[in-house]
Structure 1
Amino acid sequence: MRIQAIGTALLAAGMLTSVAFAQTVGPNGEAASLSADVVLSDDDIAAVQGKGYKAALLWHTSSDFINAVTAGAEDEFSRAGVEVVVTTDAGFDAAKQRSDIETALAAGPNVILSLPVDPVTSAEAFRQAVTDGVELVFLSNVPAGYTHGADYTAIVTDDLFQMGKQAADTLANAIGGEGKVGWIFHDADYYVTNQRDNAFKTVIGSDYPNIEIVAEQGIADPARAEEIASAMLLQNPDLDGIYVTWAEPADGVLAALRSAGNTDTKIVTLDLSEPVALDMVRGGNVVGLVADEAYELGRAMAAAGIKGLLGEEVPAFVVAPALTVTADNVAEGWQQSLHRDAPASVLNAK
């Protein structure tokens, strides 16, 4: 996972209601701007080239997702003549991230892209960067108490509502617009997954009157997914479909269906993963994976940072598009999301 809890801000703002999930909102209730609107003009590029600007990418972990975000950022920085001088992986360790920040600042970056591991501890960890006038662009999360324009340039994340909505639409289409479904949501106060999960539930309730969510179960540990799904299926053996909060636990749900000899219940989940994609292209239980455009997230983050350097106004909260990947478009979808080929096993199974 690549997210950190800041849903308490939404709770305080009264945002965690079904009404709020009509669209993606920022961690403090900010309205969303589209990443396609955060672009560098030819004049922007000319204004920064040759100035010796430098950037640092201080990530919370390493993954295919982060690799794609990094590629998008590096390509945009390269286009503008901005050198990426530091790239780090904190391994979800707040203390390690603080050390990474100190190391990066020694290299004199003008822009830092990062996902803060912990909102509270990162507020102090990034304070020196704020004092130094570094343009800070955050992925999905923001340090506690930070103010847009004064402390950071922008937050960039997925269109979280659209991810949940597309999952609902995909599952509904797969079961013919009617039936009984299960909802396995992330049982933690996580800003990103909370919005995605609740968007699915809201859209099923509002757009599909003939579909009923008859079973709900939270999950905190992906390793328990098979156990949770088995219990859900034992109590509801006639489920037509199951929504799973992200791809890793979806693999466990798939294992539970296979153990039960169940080839009928459909699964929809979020984020790209080889095991569940392989089942999907083979015509198994998985009918769709809803993903973000990770490469576009990186591009937009870099563009926001450069615009900040130029003193241009940058929206506080920026979202990149979501896309639905099915067996029919798996090759194209992988490229659109991650800017790389799908695993050979998935491509060869078609």
Structure 2
Amino acid sequence: MQDKGRDGPAPSPFAGESPSAQQAPAVAGLGPHGERPATPDQIDLSPEALARARTGGLRVSIVLHTITSDWSRRQIAGIEAELRRVGAVVDDVVGCSYDASTQVAAIERVIRRRPDAVISIPVAGAAVAQAFRKVSSAGIRLILLDNAPSGLLPEMDYVTVVSCDNFGLGQIAAGLLSPHVPQGGAVCVLAYKLDFFATAQREIAFNRWMRRERPDVALSQLKFERPSEAGAVIAPHLDRHPGLDGLFVVWDEPAVESLAVLEGRPRRPVMTTVDLGAGVAAALAAGRIVKGVAAQRPYEQGRAAATAAVASLCGHAVPPWIVLPGLGVTAGNVAQAYEMVGGAPTSPERLAVGRE
């Protein structure tokens, strides 16, 4: 995986502040082909395009790596809300259980249904690339979320990639973990084994930030293939390294799987992760192990992806890399941030109760 990100000032952890009062950090990362980021407001639909979309009977299929995570549910909700606004419909929603062969079969099945557009997050790179290439070859607009499979090109094979700033998320997570790691401490990165642009960017940015800002810290790495395996991966590492001080997990599902292992240890390393799902938000509010989260904005990302699909179908040019900045979340602002990224309004007290 090539390093397409760039260094920049470490984003502020925003400790104790309300997300609505924060200024969004500048986007730190570039696209899968080095594209400069565009913002979602650059694809707002004109009244003429809206009118055209509402009379077109547009159908959009959604094919995700999973449909059970909080991130996925929020993404789907954002897509559906935007499509309803413009009079389009969701033709199908498919989850692929993080399995490349399942996703290849799903994509081929969706192509036979002939929707006007497909919005999808590929579960891997080369393993699914050929199936995704068939989407545009069939005359169907393809909007990608977070990840562009190896060899696929914008305009030729897909319209755009809509993503959070994954390089920035890695920087945020490093900045949130650092104050809780002692001088000369040890930190492990629990990374995704498959070829996946978004998580690779987080990993690169986290490591680069730590080496620049905390050269005293010893870094190690572990990899999992499915989120459910994360606990089994981290447990033997803790047996060998009981003095581990910190852990960065590249997204919240494997982070929650790891929490069960960490909580059973007499000495618990602190953790940061990416994505503010209910489980990790509750752990952050409780303040025992999780000390910070670099949150995406999945509901807004979903709306942006739907807008990009409709704009492309109406003949509008769409930037090839559309990005939203991440949000640094601590125990002090977790309730507000949870609502902001698409969860139900709640309080730190209710989040803490949810963990018990």
Q: TM-score range by the shorter chain?
A: 0.7 to 0.9
**Distance in 1 between residues matched to 2:6 and 2:46, nearest whole Å:** 34
Q: 2:155 aligns with which of 149, 152, 155?
A: 149
Contact 1:227 1:256 (C-alpha < 8 Å) held by counterparts: no
Q: 1:89 aligns with which of 89, 95, 113?
A: 95
* Equivalent position SS for 1:216: strand
Q: 1:337 aligns with which of 329, 335, 341?
A: 341
Task: Tell me how far 1:272 sits from its aligned partner.
Answer: 2.8
Contact 2:65 2:103 (C-alpha < 8 Å) held by counterparts: yes
Q: Percent identity?
A: 28
Contact 2:91 2:115 (C-alpha < 8 Å) held by counterparts: yes
Q: Deviations over 1:91-140 (max 9, x none)?
A: 33444434433443444321111123444454432444323322110112
Aligned length: 328
Q: Greater CA deviation, 331-340 or 115-124?
A: 115-124
Q: 2:242 aligns with which of 200, 220, 233?
A: 233
Q: Greater CA deviation, 85-94 or 116-125?
A: 116-125
Q: 1:321 aligns with which of 314, 319, 325?
A: 325
Structure 2 spans left out of the alignment, 5+ residues: 9-27
Q: Greater CA deviation, 22-31 or 248-257?
A: 248-257
C-alpha RMSD over aligned residues? 3.0
CA 332–47 in structure 1, closer or farther in 2 if over 3 Å, else same: same
Structure 1 spans left out of the alignment, 5+ residues: 1-6
**Is 1:164 aligned to residue 173 of structure 2?**
no
**Distance in 1 between residues matched to 2:217 and 2:258, nearest whole Å:** 17
CA 301–124 in structure 1, closer or farther in 2 if over 3 Å, else same: same
Task: Tell me how far 1:148 sits from its aligned partner.
Answer: 1.2
Name 1:284's counterpart in structure 2: 288
Task: Tell me how far 1:299 sits from its aligned partner.
Answer: 0.8
Q: 2:189 aligns with which of 184, 196, 199?
A: 184
Q: 1:42 aligns with which of 33, 44, 47?
A: 47
* Equivalent position SS for 1:196: helix
**Distance in 1 between residues matched to 2:53 and 2:105, nearest whole Å:** 29
**Distance in 1 between residues matched to 2:135 and 2:253, nearest whole Å:** 35
Q: 1:62 aligns with which of 63, 67, 76?
A: 67
**Distance in 2 between residues matched to 1:71 and 1:305, nearest whole Å:** 15
Contact 2:184 2:218 (C-alpha < 8 Å) held by counterparts: no
TM-score (norm 1): 0.81
The letter of the residue matching 1:31 is: R
Superposed counterparts of 1:1-350, under 5 Å: 7=1, 10=2, 15=3, 20=6, 22=8, 23-63=28-68, 64-174=70-180, 180-186=185-191, 188=193, 189-206=195-212, 208-209=213-214, 212-220=216-224, 221-222=229-230, 223-234=232-243, 239=245, 241-251=246-256, 254-255=259-260, 257-262=262-267, 265-341=269-345, 346=351, 348=353
Name 1:4's counterpart in structure 2: none
